[in-house]
């Protein structure tokens, strides 16, 4: 029986020049000598082929994020944290991308959600001279990369809209190197920059907007040090709407008299699955990978998380939230999924199962994981202070794994080596500090509807980040940025609003 299929395409040349051709190699050497191929080596080290015909935007972004050494903060497969197309589903369901592709604005949104610094420009809001300058600057640096959204037809190639990173620039010939992520179709190739601009200066019929380019670089600090917002659960859109739109209206309608009544208004109507929306981040590892000590990298990450936790727990707002959660007024519909008395073993058992699932590369699979036992212990952080570790035995069918959870904690008493005595108290992340962090992350205008001027002044003082330590300020601003990006996605405004959220 006959089977139809395609094996690559012949690259139309001109206008393009195959990177591996004699002329392409000559351009490469000359560009290196000109200093505009610096970024190429990072990109080529992480060059990947899109895994689906419509995944060009996802593959381009994953490639650039990995080239910039941005930590996704979650496992890909095995113990490895790594950006893969399958993890870039924050702003658009993967099944939809697989069937219809992805728009320029949604790729920008994904880059923001992934923790990158993004500057995006549509061709009708930029100029070819600006584009050339950005390409030259990024090609001469390892710290910035350009992703271009263009129409293939301009290069006499088959297909329509496409995304790919720009790997370098030849100043003498005014040519850009496109690292085409559809490597099953076309190889990397040089194109005249003027023609690339023409290919970008086209209308994407699906969105009704012009194509363009984006500059991706690292933020000054790692995103989501301890807390993060999640859009994995289907209720994320209603939760984002409630927090940004509904809460200010409710506060304006209610006659709130004190901080406790303000918290009651905010929390009493929380969507039922609110607990899935904001998470604290725990690090997991196989016991055999870690032994009885922490690596310098693990030690550093855990120390930062613990400092953020400590700073949150020292806030006056945290004390108000703690008192509210322990009061009768917190017993309302929106608080059913939250508790100020979460059990560390139960939390750890859940995290151990998640960790085992991720390390097996079975995220969101139908395979059942259960934690048969957990234990609290302390291990040395390379000879310094002890840290809290939850050990769990995770069972799946006939298989079992020993998993460690590194718990960010505030320790109130010294811990002996090897195990923790019963008098040892661990103040680990709970709803108290998670909700405190979320309140801090709400837009400042959230509280403007409070009629009592003295109470309004008190609330603004409690949630103000102005006098907070830099580490906590950055954590709060990251959460606020995530919230505003998710709200932008929910409102379908990612095509109109390309810039980073204004805090």
Instruction: Please say if 180 is a catalytic residue.
Output: yes
Residue 139 CA to residue 143 CA, distance in Å, equals 9
Instruction: Please say if 56 is a catalytic residue.
Output: yes
In the DSSP assignment, the letter for residue 12 is P
Q: Which of 162, 210, 320, 478 is catalytic?
A: 162
Q: Which of 56, 91, 352, 420 is catalytic?
A: 56
Answer for the pair 317, 463: CB distance below 8 angstroms, yes or no. yes
State the DSSP string of 362-416: -TT-S---EEEEEEEEEEESTTSSEEEEEEEEEEETTEEEEEEEE---EESS---
Residue-level length of the chain: 503
- Measure Cα distances from 65 to 48, 145, 192, 316, 478 in Å: 12, 9, 26, 38, 17
Report the interhelical angle of 431-441 vs 470-490 (nearest 10°).
70
In the DSSP assignment, the letter for residue 293 is B
Of the candidates 316, 333, 339, which has an alpha carbon nearest to the alpha carbon of residue 458? Answer: 316
Residue 174 CA to residue 191 CA, distance in Å, equals 9
Report the interhelical angle of 316-325 vs 431-441 (nearest 10°).
130
Radius of gyration of the chain, Cα coordinates, nearest whole angstrom: 25
Cis ω for the linkage preceding 360 (within 30 of 0): no
Cis ω for the linkage preceding 14 (within 30 of 0): yes
Residue 33 CA to residue 434 CA, distance in Å, equals 52
Answer for the pair 266, 247: CB distance below 8 angstroms, yes or no. yes
Residue 102 CA to residue 489 CA, distance in Å, equals 13
Q: Where are the beta strands (DSSP E) in 47-142?
A: 75-77, 80-81, 116-122
Residues catalogued as catalytic: 56, 162, 180
């Amino acid at each position: 029986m006959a089977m139809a299929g395609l094996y690559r395409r012949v690259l139309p040349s001109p206008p393009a020049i195959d990177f591996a051709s004699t002329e392409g190699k000559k351009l490469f050497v000359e560009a290196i000598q000109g200093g505009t191929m610096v970024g190429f080596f990072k990109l080529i080290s992480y060059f990947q082929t899109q895994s689906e015909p419509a995944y060009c935007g996802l593959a381009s972004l994953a490639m650039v994020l990995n080239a910039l050494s941005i930590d996704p903060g979650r496992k890909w497969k095995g113990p490895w944290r790594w950006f893969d197309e399958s993890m870039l589903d924050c702003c658009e369901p993967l099944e939809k991308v697989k069937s219809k592709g992805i728009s320029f604005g949604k790729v920008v949104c994904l880059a923001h959600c992934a923790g990158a610094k993004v500057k995006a420009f549509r061709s009708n809001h930029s100029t070819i001279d600006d584009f050339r300058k950005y390409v030259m600057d990024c090609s001469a640096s390892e710290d910035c990369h350009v992703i271009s959204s263009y129409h293939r037809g301009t290069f006499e190639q088959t297909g329509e809209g496409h995304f790919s990173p720009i790997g370098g620039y030849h100043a003498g010939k005014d040519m850009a190197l496109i690292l085409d992520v559809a490597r099953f179709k076309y190889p990397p190739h040089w194109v005249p920059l003027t023609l690339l601009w023409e290919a970008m200066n086209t209308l994407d019929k699906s969105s009704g907007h012009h194509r363009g380019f984006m500059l991706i670089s690292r933020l000054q600090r790692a995103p989501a040090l301890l807390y993060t917002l999640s859009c994995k659960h289907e209720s994320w859109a209603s939760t984002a709407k409630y927090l940004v739109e509904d809460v200010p209206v409710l506060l304006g309608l209610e006659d709130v008299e004190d901080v406790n009544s303000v918290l009651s208004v905010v929390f009493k109507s929380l969507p039922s699955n609110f607990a899935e929306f904001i998470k604290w981040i725990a690090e997991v590892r196989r016991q055999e990978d870690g032994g009885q000590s922490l690596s310098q990298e693990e030690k550093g990450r855990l120390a930062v998380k613990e400092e953020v936790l400590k700073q949150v727990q020292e806030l006056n707002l945290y004390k108000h939230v703690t008192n509210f959660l322990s009061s009768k007024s917190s017993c309302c519909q929106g608080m059913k999924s939250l508790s100020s008395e979460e059990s560390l073993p139960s939390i750890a058992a859940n995290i151990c199962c998640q960790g085992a699932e991720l390390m097996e590369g079975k995220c969101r699979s139908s395979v059942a994981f259960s934690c048969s036992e957990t234990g609290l212990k302390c291990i040395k952080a390379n000879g310094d202070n002890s840290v809290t570790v939850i050990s769990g035995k995770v069972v799946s069918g006939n298989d079992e794994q020993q998993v460690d959870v590194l718990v960010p904690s505030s320790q109130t008493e010294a811990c002996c080596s090897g195990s923790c005595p019963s008098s040892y108290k661990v103040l680990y992340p709970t709803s108290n500090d998670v909700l405190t962090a979320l309140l801090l992350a709400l837009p400042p205008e959230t509280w403007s509807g409070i009629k009592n001027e003295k109470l309004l002044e008190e609330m603004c003082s409690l949630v103000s980040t102005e006098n907070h330590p830099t580490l906590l300020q950055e954590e709060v601003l990251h959460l606020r940025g995530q919230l505003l990006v998710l709200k932008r996605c929910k409102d379908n405004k990612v095509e109109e609003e390309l810039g980073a959220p204004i805090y």
